[in-house]
Chain A
């Protein structure tokens, strides 16, 4: 018998040259929530963060929504996951922090995928490891952040 299940679904959009938008939803037995973020590219800065606690367990859970706006102005980089979990997860909601971390990581994967696909279209023999090194040279703070393997 199924005791518990959780789904997370995340989608990324490119809105113009310098704006990336990611939206994610999480649903499980206890919670339903949504997270939407706009990131300025290539400064990798979170411009806007909005979260919605849709279904929750305690009367105080909706207070978490205002906590997550503190991420506005933060930059993508190796310390971001820990900062979101510590500063926003503990004072807001641990589950929303997990969703926000995954949204941002997918936003960066999407950028890599988009640029790699474009490079392959121009030069079919593009080597993934060489492209990855070139990608990191343009975005050094993503080297410890982008997890592809």
Chain B
């Protein structure tokens, strides 16, 4: 079957120098292509620079984003960021799509900072995943965070009941 609509997005997170991170999100579909580039100071996690670029807008609906980009400077990545970012884009330029793109970039920085912690948990509490006879020929999960370590992580207030891995375990 031939597709008649496609979208692709790529977000990259890199530490450009000690205490400074660069997050780039690029989105492309049949109608629209845009990029958000955020420079973020660590450990305060405040945005020091935001560049928003619409690369292709077939429908011609994308608004001017300059004031939104300026207003992102100083916004802190953390609790409440969704409401703040939606407010910036809703008030100044009315672009839900760019708000989505910026929020995606912000969340990916959080994910990037989480990876080393999950690696530690994997090293400390990694187990082999039991596979039946019908298991895959190529194993993508030879080691996962298992039983006791999952229960321990579920006690963390940030993780408690946050997904199926921790649901009901943080009592």
Q: Give the residue name and chain of the A residue nearest to B129 (CB).
A: A59
Q: Assess A14 versus B4: contact at CB under 8 Å? Given A3-B13, A63-B164, A149-B97.
A: yes
Taking the closest CB of chain A, its distance from the CB of B135, in whole angstroms, is 12
Q: Does A64 contact B (CB under 8 A)?
A: yes
Q: Assess A148 versus B111: contact at CB under 8 Å? Given A3-B14, A64-B163, A106-B29.
A: no
Partner of A29, one of B7, B60, B115: B115
Question: Across the interface, do A58 and B144 meet the contact criterion of CB distance under 8 Å?
Answer: yes
* Complex CA distance for A67 and B29, rounded to whole angstroms: 29
Partner of A11, one of B5, B11, B31, B161: B5
Chain B residue contacts of A90, Cβ below 8 A: 161-163, 167
Question: Across the interface, do B9 and A8 meet the contact criterion of CB distance under 8 Å?
Answer: yes
Taking the closest CB of chain A, its distance from the CB of B48, in whole angstroms, is 18
Mark contacts of A52-78 with chain B using CB atoms, 8 A cut-off: 1 yes-contact digit, 0 otherwise.
001111111101100100000000000
Q: Give the residue name and chain of the A residue nearest to B114 (CB).
A: A30
Partner of B115, one of A8, A30, A58, A60: A30
Question: Across the interface, do B6 and A9 meet the contact criterion of CB distance under 8 Å?
Answer: yes
* Complex CA distance for A30 and B110, rounded to whole angstroms: 13
Q: Give the residue name and chain of the B residue nearest to A31 (CB).
A: B111
Q: Does A133 contact B (CB under 8 A)?
A: no
Q: Does B74 contact A (CB under 8 A)?
A: no
Number of chain A interface residues as a range: 35 or more
Q: Assess A9 versus B7: contact at CB under 8 Å? Given A3-B15, A149-B94, A149-B96.
A: yes
Chain A residue contacts of B145, Cβ below 8 A: 57-59
Question: Across the interface, do A89 and B163 meet the contact criterion of CB distance under 8 Å?
Answer: yes
Q: What is the count of residue pairs linking A and B with beta-carbon distances less than 8 angstroms?
A: 146
Taking the closest CB of chain A, its distance from the CB of B9, in whole angstroms, is 5
Q: Does A109 contact B (CB under 8 A)?
A: yes
Question: Across the interface, do B111 and A59 meet the contact criterion of CB distance under 8 Å?
Answer: no
Taking the closest CB of chain A, its distance from the CB of B60, in whole angstroms, is 7
Question: Across the interface, do B127 and A59 meet the contact criterion of CB distance under 8 Å?
Answer: yes
Q: Does A43 contact B (CB under 8 A)?
A: no
* Complex CA distance for A57 and B118, rounded to whole angstroms: 8
Chain A residue contacts of B10, Cβ below 8 A: 5-7
Chain A residue contacts of B11, Cβ below 8 A: 5-7
Q: Does A12 contact B (CB under 8 A)?
A: yes
Which of A4, A67, A92, A102 has the most chain B CB atoms closer than 10 A to its own CB?
A: A4
Q: Does A143 contact B (CB under 8 A)?
A: no
* Complex CA distance for A89 and B87, rounded to whole angstroms: 24
* Complex CA distance for A11 and B28, rounded to whole angstroms: 12
Mark contacts of A34-66 with chain B using CB atoms, 8 A cut-off: 1 yes-contact digit, 0 otherwise.
000000000000000000001111111101100
Residues of chain A whose beta carbon lies under 8 Å from any beta carbon of chain B: 1-15, 28-30, 32, 54-61, 63-64, 67, 89-94, 102, 106, 109-110, 113-114, 116, 128, 147-149
Considering the complex of A and B, which 7 residue pairs feature the smallest CB-CB distances, nearest first? A110-B5, A4-B112, A149-B61, A11-B3, A12-B5, A4-B13, A55-B140
